[in-house]
Amino acid sequence: MKIKHINVALLLAGATMWSGCTKDFNELNTNPNDIETVTPGALLTPTIYRMVTYFTARSNDFTWEIMQTGLSNPSAANGVHRYYFTENSGDGTWNACYSYLRNIREMEMAAEAMDKPVYKAVAATMRALVAGLLTDSFGDVPLSEAIRAEEGITQPKFDTQEQIYADMIAALEEANTLYAGEGTMDGNDLLYGNNKELWRKFNNSLLLRYYLRQSKRIPAAAKIKALLDNPAQYPIFTSNTDAAIVEITGLSPYDYAWGRRQDYVNFTAMAEFFVDKLNALNDPRRPFIMTEATEMVGGKPVKIGYKGIPAGHSGDLSAYTFSPSTPNGDLMYPEAVGTPVQEILMPYSEVEFIKAEVYLSLGMDAEAKTAYEKGVRASIEQYGGTVPADYFESEVGKFDGTLERVMLQKYLGLFMVDYQQWFEYRRTGFPKLPKTPYMFYEGVMPTRFMYKNEVRRFNPDNYAKAVEQMGGDDFHTKVWWEK
């Protein structure tokens, strides 16, 4: 819970000045450039930019490793790809999410004060996006009483994840209605350029995500199908142009997620599992995502195709005589700075894979096949690639009526999307990731971050209640929707 800090030195200086001179203080100290009233639209772009930038970087340094997409290289010991977690592993996520939630709360308050219901809807959409990341990372967390220190609530209760999901879904349902009403957006909107219809599609696509994620506890297939059957009332993503993808130019103030190209490219190798799956598909996404591996021939590096190294390895890679594929820098930090890159909040392909899973569970195989192929096509075309004519005819690329096949392509489609690969693996167990004897916890993947140490110290009673209702506070305590 982010609490506003007071600059004590500034207060002391102000007190000294106040004791000697008060005449015309307000008039003399009014800055004509200050905005006395914050508009809700003014808070939107800073929040979107900070969020998408932070989680794009986290997808690389956390999700890549735990989901065997890429890994640090060299990596002699520890590392997330070996399931090495510490008590502090989730601290950045905790701090970032509560910072965004504060901005969103201020946006909502400004929208109410200025009677701008469309921004109440936008705030609800953004709040659900952030709250979902927070609760799926930790489980039960403070939300209903969070960020209310000004009201005297400095030790907020932990809401159960079940209640958080119910509240998120209710808020998204209400926001869908608000988007359909009167009012326009008039702020600086980095995501959709003040197009509230696209915001409405984003809102309802998130609604699908959350209905599906809790489906092990609250069956959702029939509810999701009812939404899909009513596009007039529940418009969702239908193309890549609808997707929640932020174009970042790399030019101030919208810098890329990495300070330098080499920070994204160097000391990282693509993981064998991820590369092998793409190779089996002869997938056109490969050149957009990674470089080709090389080996030395006659003292010169020669390209040998796309090859990765195994995650969870022993630290000794002497048996690998090649230099593995590395991230393609142009994806996230082009040589020509100023070239827009895509940082993703939610891709269109995810919606199609949700549909494929739901239709499959309802025995609607033809509809599931159509959605599966649309999802794959959307993901490939998102990068600028073209789907080969025979892609869906191959044994590994065609729809085979299994959830495993759908989830493999969803895993590929969620590349660079915050922690979604990790969340979906925890929900379904797919894709089936290889284990090694060098992984911690006997190869059992961690399912959450531990609560911040400050939470344990400064909110001990509510922390204790949270641990009791969660069933523990360790890396393998399962959140509500996993149980």
8 Å CB contact between 342 and 382: yes
Peptide bond between residue 253 and the one before it cis (omega within 30 degrees of 0)? yes
The predicted-structure confidence for 226-278, as pLDDT tens digits, reads as follows 999 999 999 999 999 999 999 999 999 999 999 999 999 999 999 999 999 99
Name residue, tokens 């909040």: 345
Instruction: Please state the rounded mean pLDDT for residues 59-79.
Output: 97
Distance, in Å, from the CA atom of 398 to the CA atom of 368, rounded to the nearest integer, reads 12
- C-alpha atoms less than 13 angstroms from C-alpha of 209 in its C-beta half-sphere: 29
Closest to 176 measured CA to CA, from 136, 120, 220: 120
DSSP string, 383-401: TT----TTGGGSTTTS--S
- Judged by DSSP in three states, 270 sits in strand
Token pair belonging to 347: 């891709």
Check pLDDT > 50 for residue 13.
no
**β-pairing verdict for 268-270 and 70-72:** antiparallel
pLDDT category, 38, cuts 50, 70, 90?
Answer: confident
Instruction: Please state the rounded mean pLDDT for residues 406-434.
Output: 98
Name residue, tokens 């989680």: 55
Name residue, tokens 């914050």: 38
Token pair belonging to 275: 């590369």
Instruction: Please state the rounded mean pLDDT for residues 19-42.
Output: 54
Check pLDDT > 60 for residue 3.
no
Check pLDDT > 50 for residue 6.
no
The predicted-structure confidence for 170-204, as pLDDT tens digits, reads as follows 999 999 999 999 999 999 999 999 999 999 999 99
Check pLDDT > 60 for residue 22.
no
End-to-end alpha-carbon separation of the chain, Å?
A: 27
Instruction: Please state the rounded mean pLDDT for residues 205-213.
Output: 98
β-bridge partners, 70:
270
User: Which residues, in sequence order, are CB contacts of 298 under 8 Å at separation 6+?
Assistant: none
66 exposure class (CB count in 10 Å sphere: 0-12, 13-18, 19+): buried
pLDDT category, 36, cuts 50, 70, 90?
Answer: low
Check pLDDT > 60 for residue 30.
no
Residue-averaged pLDDT of the chain: 93
Token pair belonging to 91: 């601290």
Check pLDDT > 60 for residue 9.
no
Check pLDDT > 60 for residue 25.
no
pLDDT at residue 34 in the model = 44
99: alpha, beta or left? (left if phi > 0; alpha if psi -120 to 50): alpha
What is residue 244's DSSP assignment? E
Distance (Å) of CA 136 to CA 97, 306, 350: 12, 33, 17
Distance, in Å, from the CA atom of 337 to the CA atom of 255, rounded to the nearest integer, reads 9
Check pLDDT > 70 for residue 20.
no
| CATH assignment, 40-258+339-482 | 1.25.40.390
Token pair belonging to 99: 């910072």
- Judged by DSSP in three states, 268 sits in strand
Closest to 131 measured CA to CA, from 193, 206, 40, 79: 206
DSSP string, 55-103: HHHHIIIIIHHHTTSEEESS--S--GGGT---TTTTHHHHHHHHHHHHH
Distance, in Å, from the CA atom of 294 to the CA atom of 292, rounded to the nearest integer, reads 7
Amino acid at 78: N
